[in-house]
Amino acid sequence: MAASWSIANWSVKPDTMFDLTGRVALVTGAASGLGRAIALGLDACGARAVLVDQNTAGAEEVAACLTHETLVLRVDITRSDEVRAMVEAALRRFDRIDICFNIPGINARRPAVELTDEQWRSVLEVNLTGMFLCAREVGKAMLAQKRGSMINMASARGITGGTSQSVYSVSKAGAIQLTRCLALEWAPHVRVNAIAPGYLKTPLVLEIMKDREWFERTRDLHAMKRFGEPEEVVGAALFLASDASSFVTGSVLSVDGGWTAGSR
- 168 catalytic residue (yes or no): yes
From CA 242, how far away is CA 221, in angstroms rounded?
A: 31
Instruction: With a cut of 60, say whether residue 1 has pLDDT above it.
Output: no
Task: Answer whether residue 2 is part of any domain.
Answer: no
Give the domain CATH number at 195. 3.40.50.720
Cα Rg of the chain, angstroms: 19
In the beta sheet, which residues pair with residue 27? 51, 101
Task: Answer whether residue 114 is part of any domain.
Answer: yes
Task: Answer whether residue 231 is part of any domain.
Answer: yes
Task: Answer whether residue 8 is part of any domain.
Answer: no
| Per-residue pLDDT tens digits for 229-247 | 999 999 999 999 999 999 9
Q: Which range marks the domain in which residue 80 is found? A: 24-254
From CA 96, how far away is CA 176, in angstroms rounded?
A: 26
Q: Out of 94, 168, 186, 239, which one is annotated catalytic?
A: 168
| Per-residue pLDDT tens digits for 183-217 | 999 999 999 999 999 999 998 899 889 999 989 99
Local confidence band at 6 (pLDDT 50, 70, 90 cut-offs): confident
What is the tally of structural domains in the chain? 1
Average pLDDT of span 1-22: 86
Instruction: With a cut of 70, say whether residue 127 has pLDDT above it.
Output: yes
Local confidence band at 26 (pLDDT 50, 70, 90 cut-offs): very high
From CA 77, how far away is CA 152, in angstroms rounded?
A: 14
